[in-house]
Amino acid sequence: MKRLVFLILMSTMFICSCTNNDTVSNKSSKDVDAWNIYFRYRVWGDEESGIVTAKLQYLFGGENGSSLALDEPGKVTFDGEPVEADSSAFEGAYYEVISAAEDFAGRHTIVFTDMNGREYKEEFDFPVITLKTPLPETVRRKDLLLEVAGLKENDHVRLLLTDTSFYGRGIEKIDTVRGGKIRISKTELENLENGPILLELFREVEREPEESTDAGGHVSVSYGLKREFMLED
């Protein structure tokens, strides 16, 4: 009997705890200080899926704070179009835009209006990267030039090449686009064993918002592509 009472009490405490957590994870913007809203903007996509997702969140209490569902006059627009709130049990409230990658290349604008009617504007460029010259099925062990489109001169990119061997060390580096090209040297290719190679190319930007409240925020933008080829001497 005592064990039964104990289990009932523990179950009640667990249910109350879950209820309280759900309440904390989603706050109304009416309940918070407009100057203490943290902006989290994440935009990502890849060639393989052909999809780009922009997820916008407004958090009270810093980057690990409670997500906010905005009350009028609070609102969010993306490229001039209003974005409706959505939510999930895991992430709380958020504002999301999903687009085909081919339609998303270029400059975009987010405007957040707080409950006092003040606007915060954020602009970013989204790169949809393509290879102008297709990689051959077989690549010889010499300098390899990747001709890329969708990137600007001096943009930084992350490049990864991995093989299927136990001994290959692979290649991972941050490189710079120069003249529309990225160079992988013969010396670097020596880190790879002959055989199937997976090449991954990413453009990633991590920075603070251009305009934000006292709480600050974080903006991340990324796009990537993959290719496979055979490496031979």
Mean pLDDT of successive 10-residue stretches along the chain, which has 233 residues: 38 35 46 88 98 97 90 95 94 96 97 95 97 94 95 97 79 96 95 94 98 97 97 94
Q: Are 220 and 204 in contact (CB under 8 A)?
A: yes
Instruction: Please give the backbone phi and psi of residue 229, each rounded to the nearest 5 degrees, phi first.
Output: -155, 165
The rounded distance, in Å, linking the Cα atoms of 218 and 170 is 31
In the block, which residue shows the tokens 């001497």? 233
The rounded distance, in Å, linking the Cα atoms of 105 and 195 is 34
Q: Sheet holding 106-113: strands in order across? A: 81-82, 75-78, 106-113, 119-126
Secondary structure element (H or E) that encloses residue 23, with its range: helix 2-25
pLDDT at 129: 97
Q: Residue 86: beta bridge partners?
A: 94
The rounded distance, in Å, linking the Cα atoms of 39 and 216 is 7
Q: Does the model's pTM come out above 0.85?
A: no
Q: Residue 224: beta bridge partners?
A: 46, 202
Domains of the chain and CATH, by start: 26-126 (2.60.40), 130-204+222-232 (2.60.40.10)
